[in-house]
Structure 1
Amino acid sequence: MPRVRELEVFRLVLPFGRRSETLLVKLTDQGGMTGWGEATSPPPKTWSKLEESLAALLIGVDWEHPDAVPSGESAVDMACWDLWTRMRGMPLAEAIGGTRTSLMATVRLTPDPSVESLVARVNQQVCAGYGHVTLDVRPGWDVEPVRAVRNAYPALTLAVDCGNAYTELGQLVALDSYGLEVIERPFAVTDASTHASLQDQVTASVAVEIGSTAELDDYLTLRAAKVLLLRPATFPSLTEVRRAHDRAVAAGWDIQCAGGQGAGLARAATVAVASLPGCTLPCDVTQPPRQNQIVTPIVGADGGVIAVPLTQAGLGHDVDEARLRRFAKDSFRT
């Protein structure tokens, strides 16, 4: 039974790419075992909430399972799962019900200065072993680049991520003629009815990213999509993630896991979740630059395939604490 004797929280500003902020939680139990968790792009009050209330929840308190720690914070929940599974010598993927030993990966490509340079980047990724490519599209950068990539690679499996940027169906229906597998996040997540209208008019599967089972239930009722874009870091707990997975699978939906942000721990949790039986679409852990990661081995794809660490306990990755402390903007220990 875990009993935490010390906790540390670190605030990092990652040095490469968009210099995003991430929070890391380290739990140490009475025997010296540690568990780690991460919250990527946390809400503004997360730091103060952890500083004011985390110690009372965890220090010196016995708990039998991570679900017994009602923190409501994904980083704390992840750290509890990591500690609990390490104490049992069990991989996190196995503990939550994962069955896959490896995952297909998609690579995400942002808009380019020109269509020609985008096609060249796609060529680089195909040569690197990727058989699935996701193109970021926006109003004004959609039909032309998708057409060019499809003409260059007629057999390549393509998806588009719209970033919730569209308000009308027209351009998205036009994109469907290029043999897309998935149209991700086309409209504002609150607009389930327009998602349903789009799904009625396209052969591609519409994918919606939600952060709670209540939101998912609304989409299931309206049959407003066919794919759940599951980002574990946006849920308060891995148990809630598994609940969303089970509901989507029961409804006949496919699931794609995504989680490329942060310093590596959230990516590792994404890989564990993507090993669940219903996560049938390629996993996305491609962003941001690998230099931002403070875990070993690095979480990522090799030749378009991601290995699930089923021979290591917990998240399956160790934290480089020296590198972490160089990145840390602030920290506290209790």
Structure 2
Amino acid sequence: MEIKSIVLRHIKMDLLNPFTTSVGTEYDKDFIVVEVKAKSGLSGWGESVSIMEPIYNEETVKTNWHMMGDFLIPLLLKEPIHHPDEVSERFKPIRGNYNAKAALECAVWDLYAREQNMPLAKALGGVKDKIEVGVSVGIQESEYKMLQQIEGYLNEGYKRIKVKIKPEWDVHILKAIRAQFPDIALMADANCAYTLEDIEHLQQLDAFHLTMIEQPLACDDIIDHSRLQAKLRTPICLDESIHTAEDARKAIELGSCKIINLKIGRVGGVTESKKIHDLCVKNEIPMWCGGMLEAGIGRAHNIAITSLANFTIPGDTAPSSHYWKEDIIQPEVVMKDGFILVPELPGIGFDPSITKIDDRTLYSKTFRR
């Protein structure tokens, strides 16, 4: 691959419905779309998952733009790339900034697959032709509204329900869900809302036979999660704590989790995602793909990574219509009977719509060799 230029576009899209977690509410989504243009005439596409405020992690849209433009893109344009795995190696001198790195690396992976005339899923070693789909339900204004939403999602065919929890919105809501839906695959996502002082409180969740509780303790913790897991029957799933395969190795060895949520943006890209996947296979740790309210390009990359064998739990890659009135890809991501088909076309398998992207672009910049 010989990259000719890279285009960054700052996009803004309105969510169909507000999405509330323990750390805040999102009404719209600002993000960066990356287009990597090659001398072959083809383009590869990526999407940054950072938001405007540093409340999920320390990165934001503005810091992503700065890091990509001033540091990462010059490294990427320095010399030709022969294989996408080289991108993460080239970015190693830059510490952290995983979301920014992933957006560029994903675009290179898409370009590589398109130039090889193969689906991205196959280029990654994917084995599935369809993936199971779960859905994430934010904190609602009432118990009734929560139960109503879950019933609607089950009727649509979603294979797993994840509900956001926080102190004072946890035991009673899970009890109500289990009373109405005793047999569904149910998990709770705490987004770091608890501490070790809450062990006895969290032990109450064992009664609800959850598939897992996701990231109950601090975003940078592995040690305390080990202590908590020893006190719970419910499997702990780590999310924010895992940025690298080394983080995953340490968490597994310490017994800090029994499941790992993989987010491509959180771990710096597809190459590191594959390393974490292979480590989890070796240690018999199930995985699933989390969501960051991605638009179609990021959603397509999630579909590709979920095609790998060890993604055995339904992920958060819901169809486009779950979040957006109109997505920026053609065709949009659709779900049937709780499954999304893995595309068979080259690259991510979806065509970004330049018209729709331009209509939502606040500003853009092109970087050339």
TM-score (norm: length of structure 2): 0.85
- Equivalent residue pairs, number: 332
Match of 2:364 among 319, 324, 331: 331
- SS of 1:201's equivalent? coil
Which whole-Å CA distance do the structure 1 matches of 2:144 and 2:78 have between them? 59
Residue range with higher mean Cα deviation, 193-202 or 316-325? 193-202
**1:192 — aligned with what?**
222
Counterpart contact for 2:286–2:313, Cα < 8 Å? yes
**1:285 — aligned with what?**
317
Q: Render the CA deviation track for 1:276-315: whole Å, top value 9, x for unaligned.
A: 1111110112387123631122235333212211x11111
Counterpart contact for 1:22–1:263, Cα < 8 Å? no
Q: Trace 1:295-310 onto structure 2 (pairs within 5 A).
A: 295-309=329-343
**2:65 — aligned with what?**
47
Residue range with higher mean Cα deviation, 297-306 or 222-231? 297-306
Q: Render the CA deviation track for 1:125-145: whole Å, top value 9, x for unaligned.
A: 111112311111110001111
The amino acid of 1:174's aligned partner reads: Q
Match of 1:294 among 302, 305, 328: 328
The amino acid of 1:305's aligned partner reads: F
What are structure 1's unaligned runs of at least 5 residues? Answer: none
Which whole-Å CA distance do the structure 2 matches of 1:211 and 1:217 have between them? 11
The Cα shift of 1:260 comes to 4.1
Residue range with higher mean Cα deviation, 38-47 or 262-271? 38-47
Change (3 A) 1:30 1:193: closer
Which whole-Å CA distance do the structure 1 matches of 2:103 and 2:150 have between them? 34
What RMSD, in angstroms, separates the aligned Cα atoms of the two structures?
1.9
- SS of 1:246's equivalent? helix
Counterpart contact for 2:236–2:258, Cα < 8 Å? yes
**2:273 — aligned with what?**
241
Q: Render the CA deviation track for 1:33-78: whole Å, top value 9, x for unaligned.
A: 1111111115342212322345544458432111223246111111
Match of 1:254 among 282, 286, 289: 286
Residue range with higher mean Cα deviation, 198-207 or 106-115? 198-207
The amino acid of 2:176's aligned partner reads: A
Aligned pair 1:316/2:332, yes or no?
no
Aligned pair 1:120/2:119, yes or no?
no
Aligned pair 1:174/2:207, yes or no?
no
The Cα shift of 1:243 comes to 0.5
Counterpart contact for 2:162–2:186, Cα < 8 Å? yes
- SS of 2:36's equivalent? strand
Q: Trace 1:133-282 onto structure 2 (pairs within 5 A).
A: 133-167=161-195, 168-209=198-239, 210-282=242-314
Counterpart contact for 1:22–1:39, Cα < 8 Å? yes
Q: Render the CA deviation track for 1:188-242: whole Å, top value 9, x for unaligned.
A: 1333233223322333211001121222122112111100010111122311111
- SS of 2:28's equivalent? coil
Counterpart contact for 2:205–2:234, Cα < 8 Å? no
Which whole-Å CA distance do the structure 2 matches of 1:260 and 1:191 have between them? 20
- SS of 2:223's equivalent? helix
